[in-house]
Amino acid sequence: MTDMSNNIDFDSLLLLTKAKSESDIQLICDDYIDVQSVTISVPQFVVNKTRQLLDNSSIDDNSIRSLITNLSKLVYLCLKSTDLSDNSLNALFPQTFHKQLKQLLIKLIVKNSDKWIAKSRPIQSMPSLVDFECRTESNKCVIDLQLTDPKDKVSVVLSKQQLKEMTEGMATIRQQLFDATHKSN
């Protein structure tokens, strides 16, 4: 087991042994793995659908969320690797991990790696923020945004209330990012 896989709760992955079939595990992987961001909370509809695929209504929500989060972490770690051989992927798992489940997960990761890598890439058509300037005009806040393309300059005019709401929203996002980065350390 590598240092990077130490922050994966492999015990939570054992819930996958409750799946009715290999295709249900494939569905859980395909539909619910978020390889871009493993820190985003798992929505309730994902929890409910996963519970159905695991065919067990007695599994609590937090256990299912932990399963999805740790499965995402495992896949993300595998996809970051340049070596997707069985030996390399085997080394990520604890030696005592469920043998058949480990073989199945490795098989699914190797089989789906290209698709999951493509899914994890950011959408290319989305512009990025390069720079911004703020100023006040006529009791309103004007924010000039410079996007990736030099021709793309956007001005946003906000009232005092809109600015307050935006600031509160940004503070929430800042706190979530702070919590996410400090939780993983």
pLDDT tens for each residue of 84-98:
888 888 888 999 999
pLDDT tens for each residue of 37-75:
444 677 888 888 888 888 777 899 999 989 988 888 888
Q: State the Cα–Cα distance between residues 149 and 128, nearest whole angstrom.
A: 9
Helix, strand or coil, per DSSP, at residue 11 = helix
Across the chain, mean pLDDT equals 82
Question: Which of 73, 96, 120 is the C-terminal boundary of a domain?
Answer: 120
103, pLDDT greater than 90: yes
What are 6's two structure tokens? 């130490």
Domain count, the chain: 2
2, pLDDT greater than 80: no
- CB neighbour class for 90 (10 Å; exposed up to 12, middle 13-18, buried from 19): middle
Same domain flag for 33 and 82: yes
The residue with greater pLDDT, 43 or 161, is 161
- The mean pLDDT value for 161-177 works out to 89
35, pLDDT greater than 80: no
Q: pTM surpassing 0.75?
A: no
Instruction: With beta carbons less than 8 A apart as the criterion, state whether 33 and 75 touch.
Output: yes
- The mean pLDDT value for 140-166 works out to 86
Question: Which of 100, 120, 140 is the C-terminal boundary of a domain?
Answer: 120
Task: Give the per-residue pLDDT at 3.
Answer: 53
- The mean pLDDT value for 142-160 works out to 84
Same domain flag for 138 and 92: no
What are 7's two structure tokens? 């922050």
Model confidence band, residue 5 (pLDDT cutoffs 50, 70, 90) = low
Same domain flag for 33 and 106: yes
| CA nearest to 48, candidates 33, 34, 60, 66 | 60
Task: Give the per-residue pLDDT at 4.
Answer: 54
Helix, strand or coil, per DSSP, at residue 127 = coil
| CA nearest to 48, candidates 64, 35, 34 | 64
Same domain flag for 58 and 89: yes
Containing structural domain, residue 150: 129-183
Helix, strand or coil, per DSSP, at residue 137 = strand
C-alpha to C-alpha distances, 126 to 25, 123, 148, nearest whole angstrom: 32, 6, 9
Same domain flag for 135 and 115: no
34, pLDDT greater than 60: no
